[in-house]
């Protein structure tokens, strides 16, 4: 057993139990409102079945006390049929209730999943850079699915057990109050073990939930295409397995502990359950011997008593169930309550501007407090021209491009397009005017055609072909055995970096936005691929307002305006020749990247 082995495992007694507040109960109740009819019906069915459940023991009493001693066959048949019918009706109602249970809980799960998906879609980019892999999946699947258990183990369980308890206890007292009191006296003996058990189970459940989330995280991190590659190339299989195994051991031990805790509980419970009938036989027998009770009444009593203990146990567990249910809802609500920091203003309008100058005015931005990524950035990228961003790594180039489609919102200053602040536009219309080609273009695992259609679902085959021709990728696609129907693999793994980027250029061409933001791939390509990429980019940027993070000499030469960044600030600005004359950072970068040959060729 490892360091976290079974023997060493401790329950965290201080694990935070949620507060049951009126606000959270009301919030949960809101999800039930659309299904109030079905929920009410469930409660009514439970009420009816709890009453029906009392009938068979009472009928047995009449069989034993009346039909059998009087040798009354017709009464016997009548009573047996009556008992049978109550059982059948009860079971049929049970089926119906089961359906309603499933209906209500699954509909609520459906509503919550949709709400969660829509909410997560709106979450800012920052959220996805911070959230642990696997966490979103756990909340979307395991946590929300837990709502079914919540419904079954709280609302349904509460109504069911309460009705059974009240109806059975009342019947016991009516049939024979002395025996009834004796039967009820044993009830408190159940409360003690059940409560203790509830607390233990709560703690285990909480820890199991955390372990599941950790396990999902490891699976997501290491068994996806990029994580797998990283693990293999750094030969970390053993280390990753060790991590996984450690969590797995803990999860397994928790499960064993959980089932063992359940086993002891069952043992204690069944001991108490057998004490009850024995006492009834003893005291009931005494009353019978003294002629104060019938045999049928004793038998019926023991049968009724059996109906009492289960509900008592479960009702004492209710507090624990409610607490765990609320903990589950709290986890779900925690996501719902995360602020959507980047959203449409109330007065946001469609982006209807004709002149697409992009203007940064004194823009500052930081990802984290106390560390500015951009400082007082001001520049204009005139409509229909190409602006190149250059600078050393970490200078803030990507950050500038991220601010334009509002993947992040700047901290101060303003960004305008066509003279209007970008926050005046709806996010949807702003982004529909912008095409973004990143270095690592994301293609989903589908065919090339499906990936292209993502930009414009209604594009005709001709339009697709034209876009691909303009992106210099059409001939390559046609040479593939399945052409446009070729599956690209996870993240487009079956294609080279250059091919992927050309396909994503074709995708943006199909979208045909007026503004293009391009992060040129840094990887060095052979002359032919370089030519294709360059030609594709030229096609893409023609007559567009573009901002390009430039890594290639040809792009820089083609730019109308070059902005040189360092440590989040603009340090130089101008055209290639002007900047070279300044003998500053640009010239230094230029020399490093393109060598003296390039300079010589220009001179």
Ligand X SMILES: Nc1ncnc2c1ncn2[C@@H]1O[C@H](COP(=O)(O)OP(=O)(O)OP(=O)(O)O)[C@@H](O)[C@H]1O
Q: Could you list the residues that contact ligand X (CB under 6 A)?
A: 129, 367-368, 373, 391, 393-399
Residue with Cβ nearer ligand X (106 or 372):
372
Question: CA 338 → CA 26, 69, 140, 434, distances in Å?
Answer: 19, 72, 15, 27
| Cα distance between residue 431 and residue 364, in whole Å | 21
Q: Are residues 529 and 368 in contact, defined by beta-carbon separation less than 8 angstroms?
A: no
| Cα distance between residue 416 and residue 136, in whole Å | 34
Residue with Cβ nearer ligand X (213 or 401):
401
Give the shortest CB-603-to-ligand X separation in angstroms. Answer: 28
3-state secondary structure 427-490: HHHHHHCEEEECCCCCCCCCEHHHHHHCCCCCCCHHHHHHHHHHCCCHHHHHHCCCHHHCECCH
Residue with Cβ nearer ligand X (438 or 465):
438
3-state helix, strand, coil in the chain (%, to 5): 65, 10, 25
Give the shortest CB-132-to-ligand X separation in angstroms. Answer: 15
| Cα distance between residue 105 and residue 31, in whole Å | 10
Nearest to 141 by CA among 245, 219, 216: 216
**What 3-state class would DSSP assign to 393?**
coil
Residue with Cβ nearer ligand X (189 or 553):
553
- Beta-strand relationship, 412-417 and 561-566: unpaired
* Helix or strand (DSSP H, E) at 559: none
Give the shortest CB-598-to-ligand X separation in angstroms. Answer: 20
Residue with Cβ nearer ligand X (46 or 400):
400
| Cα distance between residue 435 and residue 405, in whole Å | 9
Those residues with Cβ within 8 angstroms of residue 510's Cβ, 6 or more apart along the chain or in another chain: 452, 453, 455, 456, 459, 463, 464, 467
Residue with Cβ nearer ligand X (211 or 397):
397
Residue with Cβ nearer ligand X (371 or 596):
371
* Structure-block tokens of residue 218: 């490891």
Give the shortest CB-373-to-ligand X separation in angstroms. Answer: 4
Nearest to 576 by CA among 593, 567, 471: 593
Residue with Cβ nearer ligand X (438 or 535):
438
Residue with Cβ nearer ligand X (511 or 561):
561
Give the shortest CB-396-to-ligand X separation in angstroms. Answer: 4
Residue with Cβ nearer ligand X (294 or 402):
402
* Structure-block tokens of residue 414: 């303003």
Report the chain's C-alpha Rg in angstroms.
36
Give the shortest CB-454-to-ligand X separation in angstroms. Answer: 25
| Cα distance between residue 499 and residue 536, in whole Å | 11
DSSP secondary structure, 267-280, as one string: HHHHHHHHHHHHHH
User: What's the order of all strands across the beta sheet hosting 545-549?
Assistant: 434-437, 515-519, 545-549, 386-390, 561-566, 569-574
Give the shortest CB-339-to-ligand X separation in angstroms. Answer: 17
* Structure-block tokens of residue 487: 């599956």
3-state secondary structure 336-372: HCCCCCCCCCCCCECCCCCCCCEEEEEEEECCECCEC
Give the shortest CB-395-to-ligand X separation in angstroms. Answer: 4
Residue with Cβ nearer ligand X (28 or 563):
563
Q: What size, in residues, is the chain? A: 603
Those residues with Cβ within 8 angstroms of residue 387's Cβ, 6 or more apart along the chain or in another chain: 358, 379, 381, 546, 547, 548, 559, 560, 561, 562, 563
Residue with Cβ nearer ligand X (395 or 563):
395
* Structure-block tokens of residue 319: 């507090």
């Amino acid at each position: 057993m490892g360091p976290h082995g079974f023997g060493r495992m401790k329950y965290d007694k201080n694990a935070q139990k949620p507060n049951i507040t009126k606000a959270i109960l009301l919030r949960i109740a809101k999800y039930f409102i659309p299904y109030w009819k079905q929920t009410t019906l469930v409660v009514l069915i439970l009420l009816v079945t709890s009453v029906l459940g009392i009938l068979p023991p009472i009928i047995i009493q009449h069989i034993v006390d009346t039909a059998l001693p009087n040798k009354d066959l017709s009464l016997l048949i009548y009573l047996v049929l009556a008992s049978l019918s109550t059982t059948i009706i009860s079971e049929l109602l049970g089926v119906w209730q089961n359906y309603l249970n499933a209906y209500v809980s699954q509909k609520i799960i459906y509503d919550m999943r949709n709400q969660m998906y829509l909410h997560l879609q709106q979450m800012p980019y920052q959220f996805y850079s911070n959230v642990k892999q696997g966490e979103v999946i756990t909340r979307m699947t395991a946590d929300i699915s837990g709502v079914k258990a919540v419904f079954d183990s709280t609302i349904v369980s509460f109504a069911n057990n309460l009705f059974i308890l009240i109806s059975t206890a009342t019947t016991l007292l009516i049939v024979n109050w002395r025996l009834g009191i004796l039967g009820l006296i044993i009830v408190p003996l159940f409360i003690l073990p059940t409560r203790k058990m509830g607390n233990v189970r709560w703690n285990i459940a909480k820890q199991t939930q955390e372990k599941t989330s950790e396990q999902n995280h490891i699976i997501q991190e290491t068994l996806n295409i990029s994580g797998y590659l990283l693990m293999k190339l750094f030969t970390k299989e053993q280390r990753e397995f060790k991590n996984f195994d450690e969590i797995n051991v803990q999860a397994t031990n928790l499960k064993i502990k959980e089932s063992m805790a359940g086993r002891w509980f069952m043992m204690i419970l069944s001991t108490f359950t057998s004490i009850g009938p024995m006492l009834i036989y003893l005291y009931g027998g005494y009353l019978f011997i003294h002629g104060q009770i019938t045999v049928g009444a004793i038998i019926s009593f023991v049968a009724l008593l059996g109906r009492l203990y289960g509900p008592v146990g479960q009702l004492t567990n209710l507090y624990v169930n409610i607490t765990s249910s609320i903990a589950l809802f709290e986890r779900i609500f925690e996501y719902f309550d995360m602020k959507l920091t980047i959203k449409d203003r109330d007065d946001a309008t469609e982006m209807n501007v004709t002149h697409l100058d992009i203007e940064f005015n004194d823009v500052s931005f930081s990802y984290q407090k106390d560390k500015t990524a951009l400082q007082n950035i001001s520049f204009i990228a005139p409509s229909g021209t190409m602006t190149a961003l250059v600078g050393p790594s970490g200078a803030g180039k990507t950050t500038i491009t991220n601010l334009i489609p509002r993947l992040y919102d700047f901290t101060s200053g303003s960004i305008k397009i066509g003279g209007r602040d970008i926050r005046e536009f709806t996010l949807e219309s702003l982004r529909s005017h912008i095409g973004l080609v990143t270095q690592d273009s994301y293609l989903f695992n589908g065919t090339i055609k499906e990936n292209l259609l993502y930009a414009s679902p209604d594009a005709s085959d001709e339009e697709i072909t034209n876009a691909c021709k303009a992106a210099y990728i059409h001939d390559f696609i046609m040479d593939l055995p399945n052409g446009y129907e070729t599956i690209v693999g996870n993240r487009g793994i079956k294609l080279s970096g250059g091919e992927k980027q050309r396909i994503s250029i074709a995708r943006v061409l199909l979208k045909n936005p007026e503004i293009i933001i391009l992060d040129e791939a840094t990887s060095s390509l052979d002359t032919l691929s370089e030519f294709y990429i360059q030609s594709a980019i030229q096609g893409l940027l023609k007559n567009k307002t573009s901002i390009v993070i430039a890594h290639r000499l040809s792009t820089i030469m083609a730019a109308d305006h070059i902005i040189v960044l360092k440590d989040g600030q603009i340090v130089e600005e101008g055209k290639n020749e002007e900047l070279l004359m300044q003998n500053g950072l640009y010239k230094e970068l230029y020399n490093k990247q393109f060598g003296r040959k390039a300079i010589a060729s220009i001179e």
